[in-house]
Amino acid sequence: MKIIPLNERIIFALDFPEPELAAQWVRKLDSHLRFFKVGLQLFLAGGWPVVEDIIGRGNKVMLDLKFFDIPETVHLAVRQLQNRGVSFATIHGNRPIIEAAVADKGEMKVLAVTVLTSFDESDMVEMGFTGSVRDLVLIRARKALALGCDGVVASALEATPLRDELGKNFLVVTPGIRPGLNRDVERDDQRRVATALQAIADGADHVVIGRPISTAPDPVAAVAAIQEEIARGLSS
């Protein structure tokens, strides 16, 4: 059984254009949560100093760059993450790319992105896939885990089938989290969404959340409310 502190269950998405703004958010929230996501926008704006600042304050980092290239390039890119203190890194890819990514991962966890949460069944049809999103998530997750990935990134809607079919001995990290889902909730560019309560109860280990916290009138209160949801999900 994984032992994950409550203050590491939320991975706060630092989706900001300026390193200074991201640093302000880290300082505002890291007495309440200890895990932060650095994506393409912020990493291109601030590079390694952004990551080092977060880790230097005793926090964890999910470096969400979604590596996808020829295997040797991915291998060398992942090697660049060694000894940087990164906890999670994300990749896309087929067998050779995944094998290249996990070859030198060291203590870092490599997560395979299954299907982006901005995709739905209509996108599957447009891309020429005949199966469902759920089918594709399971196919990609099964392959990634067999090749040595430590977990997957998938929506909460696939958490239950992932656990039912592939077990519990891997990480499920879930974006697309929205509070109090109803017709009026702002989904932004996400399509396959769920509450933190649903995600955790259905088997997710971590939930990635950005705008529902950063746009809340009281972000710290929003974190506390989501953590309360998570605690209920864990006990369900």
135: its two tokens: 């089918």
HEC profile of 164-225 = HHHCCCCEEEECCECCCCCCCCCCCCCCCCECHHHHHHCCCCEEEECHHHHCCCCHHHHHHH
Instruction: Summarize pLDDT for 211-235 with one digit per residue, the tens.
Output: 999 999 999 999 999 999 999 999 9
Q: Which residues contact 121 (CB under 8 A, 6 or more apart)?
A: 132, 133
Instruction: Summarize pLDDT for 42-82 with one digit per residue, the tens.
Output: 999 999 999 999 999 999 999 999 999 999 999 999 999 99
Q: Which residues contact 49 (CB under 8 A, 6 or more apart)?
A: 19
Structure confidence at residue 192 (pLDDT): 66
Structure confidence at residue 184 (pLDDT): 41
Distance CA 13, CA 190 (A): 14
Structure confidence at residue 1 (pLDDT): 58
Give residue limits of the domains in the chain: 6-235
Rounding to the nearest 10 degrees, give the CA dihedral for residues 137, 171, 9, 117.
Answer: -10
Regions of the chain short of the pLDDT cut 50 = 181-187, 189
Distance CA 61, CA 36 (A): 5
Structure confidence at residue 171 (pLDDT): 98
Q: Helical H runs in the chain?
A: 19-29, 40-46, 48-56, 71-79, 95-102, 121-126, 133-146, 159-166, 196-201, 211-214, 219-235
Contact (Cβ atoms closer than 8 angstroms) between residue 155 and residue 117: yes
Contact (Cβ atoms closer than 8 angstroms) between residue 138 and residue 212: no
Active-site hit among 28, 37, 60, 66: 66
14: its two tokens: 């630092």
Nearest one of 1, 11, 3 to 206, comparing CA atoms: 11
Structure confidence at residue 115 (pLDDT): 86
Catalytic residue check, 37: no
Structure confidence at residue 222 (pLDDT): 96
Determine the distance from the C-alpha atom of residue 64 to the mean position of all C-alpha atoms in its chain, rounded to a whole number: 7
Distance CA 186, CA 122 (A): 20
Q: What angle do CA 206, 63, 10 make, to 5 degrees?
A: 25
Structure confidence at residue 130 (pLDDT): 72
Burial class (CB in 10 A: 0-12, 13-18, 19+), 9: buried
Structure confidence at residue 182 (pLDDT): 40
Structure confidence at residue 150 (pLDDT): 97
6-235 is classed CATH 3.20.20.70: yes
pTM, rounded to two decimals: 0.91
